[in-house]
């Protein structure tokens, strides 16, 4: 296997924008993107391969991440940045261009947790938790998925019952990002009336009795993000731990719609990262007397990769515009996630192919994107689940039941 030593300068952002989408951005949106882009190139990329290989979360990067003033995303007030949906998406894409694990950390902490509290919390709950989430002095987790109900998230087995002035939670959760390190965990459970609610388990004062989180090991994707199996055995919470606006699964769906938007941008980021690495490599790598970028087969791959990326960029931009206009619906987010996940999966596979044997080495970054896209393709609803959400919207028939 022939080795080409990676050059860090070649793997910094090239700003892939074949259709001049940058023209649509405001000055503020460009400033946010460029701030995160610099963080990725200067802070994240130099260390992420080591953390990924060791399956460790890069806690050292939380403080500089907090300094970007992006945590809380589009949430307004309470110390959150109140960005446009476009800017929030650009943050996700830039982080994913660097590393899927850290991008997923952001999507959980800044996206799922912050948006759940902002959408469903009362004023007291917002004042209590959002400023710390924005400052990253408290890290968040979102515990919805269960061992026996992966795609069938409505069929929650976790239960919440009232006992005097307290809630008591029993059940199990799985694949919970940040679940073993979070200071607050939003646990979704069904109450005695059959209604679904989000309950905040607050670890800030110390371990919560009955809450046990075990890091899932042996992963081949998103290795630098700690995901946990969680057991809830008689976990007692105060009455105000339930998010005031979480009464039905329709409320939960508000949060899932937002998260699927983020994952669509994440797929775009993975694709751009892999494409830019592959393009830089192809220009540098020589075979049979000239760079492999000069050969038809490589150019054909790069062209198809770019076509997929432009399609993803246009979809994500329009999706964000609909969000800013208050017109986004779950089927829009589902279609965006369906498109970007499958397109990005193709792009990273072609990038890995262009790099040949070097495509399986972490040094060249593509191997990590290739592996991490398998997680993106699956979480927040598999390809099949997204297609059925879209199918229901266009036919009027529910194929889930």
pLDDT tens per residue across span 123-172: 999 999 999 999 999 999 999 999 986 555 667 899 999 999 999 999 99
Residue 16: closest CA among 217, 251, 268: 268
Give CA separation, 79 vs 36, 133, 205, 236, 398, in Å. Answer: 19, 9, 22, 29, 41
- Mean pLDDT for 285-310 is 97
Do 127 and 165 lie in a common domain? Answer: no
Do 259 and 291 lie in a common domain? Answer: yes
Residue with tokens 């150019």: 299
Give the 3-state secondary structure of the chain: CCCCCCCHHHHCCCCCCCCCHHHHCCHHHHHHHHHHHHHHHHHHHHHHHHHHHHCCCCHHHHHHHHCCCCCCCCCEECCEECCCHHHHHHHHHHHHHHCHHHHHHHHHHHHHHHHHHHHHCCHHHHHHHHHHHHHCCCCEEEECCECCECCCCCCCCCEEEEECCEEEEEEEEEEEECCCCCCEEEEEEECCCCCEEEEEEECCCCCCCCEEEEECCCCCCCCCCCEEEEEEEEEEEEHHHECCCCCCHHHHHHHHHHHHHHHHHHHHHHHHHHHHHHHHHHHHCEECCEEHHHCHHHHHHHHHHHHHHHHHHHHHHHHHHHHHCCCCCHHHHHHHHHHHHHHHHHHHHHHHHHCHHHHHCHHHCHHHHHHHHHHHHHCCCCHHHHHHHHHHHHHCCCCCC
- Within a domain: residue 291? yes
Residue with tokens 């190139």: 41
- Mean pLDDT for 99-112 is 95
- Within a domain: residue 217? yes
Asked if residue 348 has pLDDT above 70, the reply is yes
Do 176 and 260 lie in a common domain? Answer: no
Q: Which residues contact 387 (CB under 8 A, 6 or more apart)?
A: 334, 338
Q: Radius of gyration (Cα) for the chain, nearest Å?
A: 21
- Within a domain: residue 400? no
Average pLDDT, the chain: 93
50-64, 139-153, 241-255 — most confident range: 50-64
Q: What is the pLDDT of residue 250?
A: 81
Do 255 and 380 lie in a common domain? Answer: yes
- Within a domain: residue 401? no
Domain boundary among 211, 241, 271: 241
Give residue 89's pLDDT band: very low, low, confident or very high (50, 70, 90): very high
- Within a domain: residue 126? yes
Do 145 and 102 lie in a common domain? Answer: no
Do 175 and 236 lie in a common domain? Answer: yes
- Mean pLDDT for 210-231 is 96
Asked if residue 258 has pLDDT above 80, the reply is no
Asked if residue 1 has pLDDT above 70, the reply is no
Asked if residue 2 has pLDDT above 50, the reply is no
Q: Which residues contact 261 (CB under 8 A, 6 or more apart)?
A: 85, 89, 319, 320, 323, 328, 333, 336, 337
- Mean pLDDT for 298-324 is 96
Q: What is the pLDDT of residue 4?
A: 54
CATH classification at residue 260: 1.20.140.10
Q: What is the pLDDT of residue 153?
A: 63
Do 326 and 208 lie in a common domain? Answer: no
Asked if residue 272 has pLDDT above 70, the reply is yes
- Mean pLDDT for 207-235 is 96
Q: What is the pLDDT of residue 396?
A: 93
Give residue 6's pLDDT band: very low, low, confident or very high (50, 70, 90): low
Per the structure, the count of domains in the chain is: 3
Residue 316: closest CA among 348, 287, 341, 286: 341
- Within a domain: residue 301? yes
- Within a domain: residue 2? no
Do 271 and 231 lie in a common domain? Answer: no
- Within a domain: residue 1? no
Tell me the whole-structure pTM to 2 decimals. 0.93
Asked if residue 229 has pLDDT above 80, the reply is yes
Range of the domain at 307: 249-395
9-23, 264-278, 347-361: segment of lowest average pLDDT: 9-23
CATH classification at residue 72: 1.10.540.10
Domain boundary among 241, 270, 303: 241
Phi, psi of 160 (to 5 degrees): -125, 125
- Mean pLDDT for 219-230 is 96
* CB atoms inside a 10 Å sphere around CB 123: 9
Separation of CA 216 from chain center = 18
- Mean pLDDT for 99-119 is 95
Asked if residue 217 has pLDDT above 80, the reply is yes
Do 237 and 257 lie in a common domain? Answer: no
Do 255 and 368 lie in a common domain? Answer: yes
Domain boundary among 207, 241, 275: 241
Is residue 316 within 8 A of residue 264, CB to CB? The reply is: yes
Alpha-carbon distance of 197 to 267, in angstroms, equals 29
Residue 15: closest CA among 341, 346, 279: 279
Do 75 and 160 lie in a common domain? Answer: no
CATH classification at residue 218: 2.40.110.10
- Mean pLDDT for 110-128 is 95
Which tops the pLDDT comparison, 272 or 379?
A: 272
148-152, 205-209, 316-320 — most confident range: 316-320
Do 106 and 164 lie in a common domain? Answer: no
Asked if residue 231 has pLDDT above 90, the reply is yes
Phi, psi of 242 (to 5 degrees): -80, 130
- Mean pLDDT for 323-338 is 92
């Amino acid at each position: 296997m022939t080795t080409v030593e990676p050059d860090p300068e070649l793997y910094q952002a090239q700003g892939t924008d074949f259709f001049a989408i940058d023209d649509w951005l405001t000055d503020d949106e460009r400033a946010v993107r460029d701030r995160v882009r610099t963080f990725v190139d200067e802070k994240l990329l130099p260390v992420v391969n080591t953390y990924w290989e060791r399956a460790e979360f890069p806690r050292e990067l939380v403080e500089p991440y907090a300094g970007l003033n992006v945590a809380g995303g589009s949430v307004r007030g309470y110390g959150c940045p109140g960005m446009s949906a476009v800017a929030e998406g650009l943050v996700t894409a830039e982080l994913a261009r660097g590393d899927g694990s850290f991008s997923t950390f952001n999507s959980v902490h800044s996206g799922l947790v912050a948006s759940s509290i902002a959408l469903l919390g009362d004023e007291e709950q917002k004042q209590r938790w959002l400023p710390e989430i924005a400052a990253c002095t408290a890290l968040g987790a979102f515990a919805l998925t269960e061992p026996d109900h992966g795609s069938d998230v409505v069929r929650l087995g976790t239960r919440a019952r009232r006992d005097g002035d307290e809630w008591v939670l029993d059940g199990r959760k799985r694949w919970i990002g940040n679940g073993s390190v979070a200071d607050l965990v939003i646990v979704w459970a069904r109450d005695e009336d059959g209604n679904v609610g989000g309950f905040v388990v607050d670890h800030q004062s110390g371990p919560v009795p009955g809450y046990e989180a075990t890091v899932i090991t042996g992963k081949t994707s998103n290795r630098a993000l700690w995901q946990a199996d969680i057991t809830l055995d008689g976990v007692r919470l105060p009455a105000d731990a339930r998010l005031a606006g979480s009464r039905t699964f329709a409320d939960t769906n508000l949060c899932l719609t937002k998260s699927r938007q983020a994952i669509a941008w994440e797929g775009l980021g993975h694709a751009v990262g892999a494409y830019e690495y592959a393009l830089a490599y192809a220009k540098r790598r020589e075979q049979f007397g000239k760079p492999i970028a000069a050969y038809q087969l490589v150019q054909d791959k790069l062209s198809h990769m770019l076509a997929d990326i432009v399609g993803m960029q246009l979809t994500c931009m329009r999706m964000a515009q609909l969000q800013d206009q208050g017109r986004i619906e779950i089927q829009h987010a589902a279609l965006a996630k369906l498109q970007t996940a499958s397109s990005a999966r193709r792009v990273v596979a072609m990038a890995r192919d262009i790099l040949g044997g070097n495509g399986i080495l972490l040094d060249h970054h593509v191997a990590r994107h290739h592996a991490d896209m398998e997680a993106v393709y699956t979480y927040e609803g598999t390809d099949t689940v997204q297609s059925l959400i879209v199918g229901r919207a266009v036919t009027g028939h529910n194929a889930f039941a």
